[in-house]
Structures are given as structure tokens and as C-alpha cells.
Amino acid sequence: MSTPRRPFWILTKTGSVLPPVLEAALGVFGLVVQIATLTSGRPVEPVAYVVLVVALLLIAQGVADLVWWSRYGRRDAARQG
């Protein structure tokens, strides 16, 4: 069986679960902090919108990584080497 090619957005090479979970968790934390900042009623810095977009991208990256590795036995195939 040939090694499955990973799309460019998949960062882990072995199918490990921890890095994508950390990406998603960091993204959720950043999203919560930025939503709290935006709804606080104080003037918002433009960097807050940039951080909001980065947080959403981190969540999407982590979820995409987890989903891609969980399909078709890719994680097991990578671990067997």
C-alpha cells in the first residue's frame, strides 16, 4: 500500500493527535478572549481583528488535521511506517 499524500494544510507527519488538539484549543482560547474584547464596549484595536482571524484559522487547521488523519485508516498506516 502506498503512503497517503498529505494535503499542504496537514502539519503532523505521524498522525499524532496532540498537536492538532493543541492548535484547536489555542484557537478556541484566542477566539473567546477576542470575543470578550470586542464585546467589552471599549475601543477596539485593529490587531484584535487580526487575532480573531488567526484564532479561527487555528481552529480550522486543528480540525482539518484531525479529520484528515482519522479517515481511511491513515493514522494507523503512518504509525506502521
CB 61 within 8 A of CB 10: no
Can you give the pTM of this predicted structure?
Answer: 0.76
To which H or E segment does residue 68 belong? helix 46-70
What rounded mean pLDDT belongs to the chain?
82
- Residue-level pLDDT at 17: 74
CB 10 within 8 A of CB 74: no
- Residue-level pLDDT at 52: 92
Residue type, 69: W
12 DSSP assignment: -
